Chain A
Amino acid sequence: MATNEIKIDDNNPLFSTQGLFYKEFPSDLRQVRYFTLLIVQKSPPEFQEVNLLEQQISEIIKNAIKHGNKQDINKKVRVWYGFDDTSARLIVQDEGPGFQRLEEWNEFLRHRNEAFEQQDFEEMAKYISYRSPDSAPDDGGNALFAAVEYWNDGVVFNSKRNCIALKRTFRRKKKKAPGVAVGQSAGAE
């Protein structure tokens, strides 16, 4: 299984904002769920697992507020987002110094994934949560591990590392064949 990692690429098409909606929010953690609901409202009604989509978007915005803007209420989080029938796109930019420990994080993820693939939970325990000197006690240290799995069409930072772009492609709903009994529909996630 290929190991996911977060790349740096200013020219990645995921940074194109064409056709995307735009909102900017203050760095107020108390309002993140509300902000995220405003974004998810635009997703097509056919989308399943909307709660998970909301959760994953809110993690990225929380990261921008906590780690990027250090909860400075005067600093804004800028968000571009868009949906079509089969995919969701998100770009989140903060006003912070950027994720300077990205290479260290990618290395940490590689070890974590190797341990998981071998189901070596003793080894995995060493890589279970990513902590940096900036980590707060209530930081889970695991949001981006889920993000690189969820956003299955790419997770990329700009070279300043304060802007992240992500895309998830959903599986299409299987159409029922006439006259054929179909069990559980796979559905879009």
Chain B
Amino acid sequence: MELHQRSNGSVQIVDIDGDLDLYNSFKLKELVNQLVNSKVAGLILNFQDVSYIDSSGVGVLIYTNSLLKTNNTPFRIIQVHGSVRRVIELTKLIGFLPIVDTEEEALKQVSGKS
């Protein structure tokens, strides 16, 4: 799994490429911690190239959501599809996690409110 960072204004977008599971989800957790420490203004996680997630990966999403909420930092997850979306649905986290369809929509929401 690789994490590619880019910016749009003050918002950080992380494109995740690969499986988000027990073996590597710690990498995302570490990056999120770094971004929070560096006072990121907003964060978008792009799941377009993620086709597998397990409970550890879901755990990191829950952790990220909680941490950014505590820090009052806007956060969105985008392009969740296939079995990854089904796992999140089965875990009843649709609605709880801030999932939106497109980057454009996420940018609008993240830039427009805290």
User: Which residues in A have some Cβ–Cβ distance to B below 8 Å?
Assistant: 29-30, 49, 51-52, 55, 58-59, 62, 112-113, 116, 119, 121, 124-125, 128-129, 138-143, 145-146, 149-150
Residue contact A139 to B87, C-beta cutoff 8 Å = no
**Which residues of chain A are within 8 angstroms of B92 by Cβ–Cβ distance?**
112-113, 116, 124, 145, 149
With A125-B66, A149-B90 in contact, do A119 and B59 touch (Cβ < 8 Å)?
A: no
Interface status of B46 (Cβ within 8 A of chain A): no
Choose among B51, B57, B66, B95 the residue that contacts A140 (Cβ–Cβ < 8 A): B57
With A121-B96, A138-B25 in contact, do A62 and B91 touch (Cβ < 8 Å)?
A: no
Choose among A51, A119, A121, A138 the residue that contacts B56 (Cβ–Cβ < 8 A): A138
Instruction: Identify the closest chain A residue to B82 (Cβ).
Output: A51
Give 12 new A-B contacts, CB below 8 A, not counting A128-B96, A141-B59: A29-B22, A51-B82, A55-B54, A55-B87, A112-B92, A116-B96, A124-B96, A128-B93, A138-B25, A142-B91, A142-B93, A149-B92
Residue contact A146 to B59, C-beta cutoff 8 Å = no
Residue contact B91 to A145, C-beta cutoff 8 Å = yes
With A52-B83, A150-B90 in contact, do A142 and B62 touch (Cβ < 8 Å)?
A: yes
Interface status of B6 (Cβ within 8 A of chain A): no
With A112-B92, A121-B95, A124-B96 in contact, do A143 and B52 touch (Cβ < 8 Å)?
A: no
Instruction: Identify the closest chain A residue to B88 (Cβ).
Output: A146
